[in-house]
Amino acid sequence: MTIKILLVEDQTIVRNGLKMIIEQDEKYEIVGEASNGLEALEIVGKKQVDLVLMDIRMPEMNGIEATKKIKDQYPHMKIIILTTFDDEEYAYETLKDGANGFLLKSSEPAKLLSSIQSVMEGGLVLQEDVAAKLMPKLLKQTVSSNGPTQNIPLTERELEIVKLIGEGKTNKEIANRLFLSIGTVKNHITHILQELDLRDRTQLAIYALKKGIV
């Protein structure tokens, strides 16, 4: 199945470069291009889009605001943030709003392609140097001294799955680790999200870090 991708980037030369890299792999198809968040919102409302590659700093509407609006309207749409700014605040804000990954534009082409594949399989992708800054910020928000997993309405198996999601594992990797089918893993995740009143696995990964499950 072809993965349909929207490129959101205000610099034409960068957008063209990303398009060339992505279209080298026949699994991916660029179905739209936008130079700001407003254009992105218009396109996702008209076309089938599986994944958005989103710049941060753009005119009219930046990537942070566009990510929030897209995720509010299309919670299952995947979004990877692309930026030249290795600032953990950008990553933190977009991840809170449901982004599925955060990469620097200086990443190698192979890293970009593997990140798209990982996110489409349910993974959470964070640039290594950004993650190094972001994790301490999240870990400061751990629960009280009553214990990290107390009062969490999940079974032991569900806690195992939450831990692996917090480590950025895909559904396939979780299934292999726990000797479950991918369908069973998906069912568990659906139940976990309902129990914890969370929107998606990105929020669940952040929850796992905050609660000290990871």
pLDDT at residue number 32: 96
pLDDT attached to residue 145? 38
Provide the pLDDT for residue 132: 64
- Under 8 Å CB-to-CB from 44, ≥6 apart: which residues? 6, 52, 70, 73, 74, 77
Per-residue model confidence (pLDDT) at position 17: 93
80's enclosing H/E stretch is strand 78-83
Long-range contacts of 174-183 (CB under 8 A, 24+ apart): none
Q: Are residues 149 and 126 in the same domain?
A: no
Q: Are residues 193 and 89 in the same domain?
A: no
* Strand pairing class (78-83; 51-55): parallel
Decide which of 96, 117, 133 is a domain's last residue. 133
Q: Which residue has the tokens 């079974």?
A: 155
Pair of tokens at residue 90: 């950008």
44 lies in the same domain as 108: yes
Q: Could you give the CA distance from residue 192 to residue 200 in angstroms, rounded to a whole number?
A: 10
pLDDT in the model for residue 124: 82
**Residue after which a domain boundary falls, among 81, 102, 133:** 133
Residues 30 and 103 in one domain: yes
CA–CA dist 112, 114 (Å, integer): 6
User: In the prediction, which pLDDT does 146 show?
Assistant: 41
Q: End of a domain among 114, 133, 152?
A: 133
Per-residue model confidence as pLDDT tens for the chain (214 residues): 899 999 999 999 999 999 999 999 989 999 999 999 999 999 999 999 999 999 998 999 999 999 999 999 998 899 999 987 666 677 777 877 888 988 888 889 998 999 999 899 888 888 776 666 666 666 565 444 344 555 788 888 999 999 898 887 888 899 999 999 999 999 999 999 999 888 777 778 878 877 778 6
Helices (H) and strands (E) in the chain, counts: 10, 6
Range of the domain at 39: 3-133
Tally of structural domains, the chain: 2
Give CA–CA dist 68/93, Å, rounded. Answer: 9
Widest CA span of the chain, in angstroms?
53
CATH code assigned at 107: 3.40.50.2300
Do 102 and 149 reside in the same domain of the chain?
Answer: no
- pLDDT tens digits along 60-101: 999 999 999 999 999 889 999 998 766 667 777 787 788 898
Concatenated DSSP letters for 16-27? HHHHHHHTTSTT
